[in-house]
Every structure is written in C-alpha cells, then in structure tokens.
Amino acid sequence: MDYKRDLKQGMSGEDVFYIKNRLFDLGYYAENIKQITSKTFRKDTTEAVLKLQKEQGFTEDGIITETVWNRIEALYGTQPSQLDEFIAYLKSFAGRAIYIWGGQTQVIRDGIVYKDDSFTKELGKAEDWIKKVETSTKNANRALKLYNSRKNTFEVIPCVDCSGYGMNWLYNKKRIASSDMTANGMKAKCTMLGKSDLKRGDWVFRIYTSGDKKGRAYHIGYVIDDKLNVAEAKGRDDGVVIRPFDSNYWNAYGRPSYFADEINEEISYRIVFTRVLKKVFPRMTGDDVMALQVLLNEATDADLGVDGIFGSKTERAVREYQELKGLKVDGKAGEDTITALGGIWVG
C-alpha cells in the first residue's frame, strides 16, 4: 500500500490498519499486544511509533509522516506486489501510448518503430508501419494524427490496442500469462462480478449483447484505483487514457485469476461505500451501514450496536463525529464523513 496521508492518534482507516500490522511484525508494540484487530490509531500505536522514531533518529512526535512510513516499509523489506507493478505499468502509458490495431510490444523512437523496448529490431518508419498494419487508410490517418501530436513530447511512444496494452506486461514482459490473448480470452481468465463488487485490479469489458457473438468481449479496461478509475487503450483518436468508470459504457466485469488472491486479501479489510447513509423511513439497512457503525465505534465512544440499521443512535453518532472533526453537521454519512473515518468512498 502507498502512503496517502500523515497518521496520528485518533485516526482510523485501512492505511492505519496496514501500517499497524507492519509495526507489529517489526516488534515495536508492547509485549502485551498479541494481535492487531483495530483500524484505529490509539495510544498503543503512538507508543510503537515513538519507539521506532527514537531508534531511527526521527523527531519523536508519534506521527507517521511520509518519511516515517517509508522507513517502516524499508525496515519491513516490502516489495511492490504484482498487482502494484501492473498498475504502475498501466499508468505509465496514459497520455503517452497510441492505439494501433494489433499493437502490443512495439514502440516508436525518433520516427522508427521497434519490435519492443529493447530497441534491437527495427520494423520501419513510423508512418509506413502504421499505414501497413492499420485496418484502413482512414484509421491509419487517425492514428498518425495522434502520433504526430505526441512525437515531440515523448522520446518513446508505445503502440498498443486494448488487449495488447495488458498482455504486453502479463505475457511479453512477465510471462504471468502462458499465452497471448484477445479481450475475450482475457475475459475467460476472470471470475465474473456484479458492478457493485468491482475493486482495484479488476477488469471491465464491453461485450456483445445480441446476435451470434452475444457475451463475447470486444474491448477491455483495467480498474486502477479505489475510486474505480479505468485505464484503457480507448481508440485511435485518444490512445491510452484513464477516466472514471462508466456503467453505460462498460457492461461486463471480472476479477482476473492472476490477481484474485491479492484483490480478495485487500477486500478483507477494505470498507467501501457507494451511497450517502442517513436516517430515513423506511430505515436504510445493509453491510455498508454495519461498516459505518464499526468505524464510528472505533473512532469514538459511541458504543453502537452493529446491527446494520441506520437509526437515531447512528445518526447521533455521525453528528457527534462530524462536530468533533469540524465537518458539516447534518447526520448524513457522505463522502467527507466516510473519508474522515477511513472508509473508501466511490459513490
């Protein structure tokens, strides 16, 4: 997990839970602490941080700044996960790579197309190659227009299509996948999901909804963060872009087998909210209300019953927390309140 904010006593969230486990594994907690179960930064965590800061020569204030966070990670010896590496790769192409039919490993440098970024095998001049591999003169001209707009900005320009964008890393670079695949082949490597189950690392698809090809995927995107932004090789006019998830555009969703264990492990302590929770009639109920009640109990002395029903006591606890944190006091758990509590908001 990457650093997101400074952490100190009284704060809650998945990042608190994550770094507490790091500190525990490194032996900075008192001996009477046998397990980390809470997502809240309390006195015992402050004491653990102070111990680390003293040992490492930091200012002893009990606050986990970015520098302290990075030192904890360095001491722990953590390495980026495969999913983290894949997402970093995807992000590195955004706004730089162009869409070329069948593109996957090819890159353009100084007007010359190379087979891959080892720059050992030339495929020809950019304009000639694009005209050769594209499906029509019109499409070649669209791709060339984008290339010409970027060639003076970027030293190296990757060339990918929607599936080649992902397969370049999964197959050509890492050999995580055993063979090359189209978007539909990549869909077959997924456990299909409902829209509400989407998480960072999942894949989204455009599929045919009728005719002989019904159910087959013809386009793929990659969810790169908790806000469900999607990276995709959109087309010849745009190249690789990152934009918010749109359920009117994407109509099928899957969890790739290559990252499923990691995604599912993260879900075990992620709390995701997709709607404003408030007191209405009939009462709002659900797992998200239950999760809110857990967060309020961890962050305050509310001592709510965790029943998944948003009633008067839950509303009062929300108001008290909002007042404590200087938020708008309205008793509604929306983006600002959920984020302050350490939950993930994707509403």
Q: pLDDT tens digit string along 251-293?
A: 999 999 999 988 876 654 456 788 999 999 999 998 788 889 9
Percent of the residues in the chain that have a pLDDT greater than 70, as a whole number: 97
Sign of CA dihedral 20, 25, 31, 35: positive
Q: What is the pLDDT of residue 266?
A: 63
Strand order in the sheet with 107-109: 98-99, 156-160, 107-109, 112-114, 122-125
Q: Report how far residue 20's alpha carbon sits from residue 281's, in angstroms, rounded to the nearest whole number.
A: 39
Domain boundaries, the chain: 14-76, 80-267, 272-345
- Architecture of the 272-345 domain: Orthogonal Bundle (1.10)
pLDDT band at 38 (very low <50, low <70, confident <90, very high): confident
For the domain spanning 80-267, the CATH number is: 3.90.1720.10
Bridge partner residues of 223 (DSSP): 230
Q: What is the pTM of this model?
A: 0.60
Query: Are the C-beta atoms of residues 134 and 124 closer than 8 Å to each other?
Result: no
Q: Report how far residue 298's alpha carbon sits from residue 38's, in angstroms, rounded to the nearest whole number.
A: 7
Rama region for 178: left / alpha / beta (φ>0; ψ in -120 to 50; rest): alpha
What average pLDDT score do residues 67-94 get? 85
Which range is least confidently modeled, 70-74, 190-194, 204-208?
Answer: 70-74
Same fold, 14-76 and 80-267: no
Location of structure tokens 């930064």: 41
- Architecture of the 14-76 domain: Orthogonal Bundle (1.10)
Q: Report how far residue 47's alpha carbon sits from residue 62's, in angstroms, rounded to the nearest whole number.
A: 7
